[in-house]
Amino acid sequence: MADAPTVIRRRLGAELRRLREDHGRKLDEVAGELGLVASTLSRIEKGKAPIRTNYLKKLLEMYEITDPAMCQILIELAREGHRKAWWSDYDDVLPSGFNIYLGLEAEAASIRSYEPTLVHGLLQTREYAAAVLRELRPREGEEQLQRLVELRMQRQHQRLFDTAPATDLWLILDEGAIRRMVGGPAVMRRQLEYLVEASSWPNIMLQVLAFDSGAHAGMEGAFAIVTFRDRADPDVAVVESIGGTQIFLEKDKDVLSRIEAYDRLRAAALSPAATIGLIESAARLLP
């Protein structure tokens, strides 16, 4: 499977940033020579935007890169960075910035995620997803909502079933996520049953952080740590901000802070066996 454009852009952007810094050039200075605003070049270096081949060739000249093989590799990366991913078919309904996260997720070897209020999108049933999205996107028409549900279902298949090897998902849910009634008793019961089923899959590890665990390392909100198949690609921590948009943390100290928080959450959460017991108990209590 070809690498996702988002990850390719990150690799190219990181290399361009390294080359610029090695030459002691400032971002706004280089951007001015290219005829770009500094924010555009910054987005390119952060992997958030593709770069045109003509701009890349100018950068290679500035940075005195003359090795033909090296130049060709970077040019190919730039071309691949323009390639459309499968989720581009849903651009009309994609939440702002979510395409960046999907690009990272597409190349993930593993995802460690903490969700305090709802079931993670990769393990939602179709009915649960529809109920959640109706509340989150109340102004959307039914057709748009169904496209969002289809996006979520296709995302699940891509990550958990269609990719070999499947992405490993270590998921910690707050107890509130399994107690909160979403979509009515029948929808919630099926969702809880699906969590129990998924917990038996070899690439899924599921834990619940019980109410009686008290104060914990995830009280600032949902977050995830994405680790990539290519170990040369550094981990990324993803934090949800107000409004559901994602903030991508890539500095070593920020990622390490999230990893340490996740390790504390794993220690505080119920064991996988006790987690299943709690989920099955919650399902039995549904009316």
What is the DSSP secondary-structure string of 22-69? HTT--HHHHHHHHT--HHHHHHHHTTSS---HHHHHHHHHHTT---HH
Closest of 113, 86, 82, 84 to residue 246, by C-alpha:
113
pLDDT at 4 over 90: no
Per-residue model confidence as pLDDT tens digits over 202-235: 999 999 999 999 999 999 999 999 999 888 889 9
Q: Looking up tokens 């390790």, which residue turns up?
A: 263
* Residues whose CB is less than 8 angstroms from the CB of residue 147 and which lie 6 or more positions away in sequence, other chains included: 90, 92, 93
Q: How many CA atoms lie within 13 A of 96 on its CB side?
A: 5
The predicted structure's pLDDT at residue 244: 67
Q: Any idea which of 111-120, 159-168, 246-255 has the lowest mean pLDDT?
A: 159-168
pLDDT at 121 over 90: yes
- The mean pLDDT of the chain is 92
Q: Any idea which of 47-56, 63-72, 94-103 has the lowest mean pLDDT?
A: 94-103
Q: Which amino acid is at 89?
A: D
By the 10 Å C-beta count (0-12 exposed, 13-18 middle, 19+ buried), 210 is classed as middle
The predicted structure's pLDDT at residue 1: 41
Strands, sheet with 204-209, edge to edge from the N-terminal-most edge strand: 204-209, 168-174, 108-115, 223-228, 236-240, 246-249
pLDDT at 2 over 60: no
The predicted structure's pLDDT at residue 152: 96
pLDDT at 61 over 90: yes
pLDDT at 198 over 50: yes
| pLDDT (average), residues 183-194 | 98
The predicted structure's pLDDT at residue 96: 80
pTM over 0.85: no
CA angle, 227 then 231 then 232, to 5°:
115
3-state DSSP percent of the chain in helix, strand and coil, to 5: 55, 15, 30
Within 149-241, strands assigned E span 168-174, 204-209, 223-228, 236-240
Per-residue model confidence as pLDDT tens digits over 146-162: 999 999 999 999 999 88
| pLDDT (average), residues 148-177 | 93
Q: Looking up tokens 């999230």, which residue turns up?
A: 258
Phi, psi of 173 (to 5 degrees): -105, 135
| pLDDT (average), residues 64-76 | 89
Per-residue model confidence as pLDDT tens digits over 230-270: 888 899 999 987 666 789 998 999 999 999 999 999 999 99
The predicted structure's pLDDT at residue 242: 66
Phi, psi of 110 (to 5 degrees): -150, 150
| pLDDT (average), residues 53-60 | 92
Classify residue 91 by its DSSP letter. T
Q: Is the distance from CB of 62 to CB of 68 less than 8 angstroms?
A: no
Tell me the domains of the chain and their CATH numbers.
Answer: 5-81 (1.10.260.40), 86-284 (3.30.870)
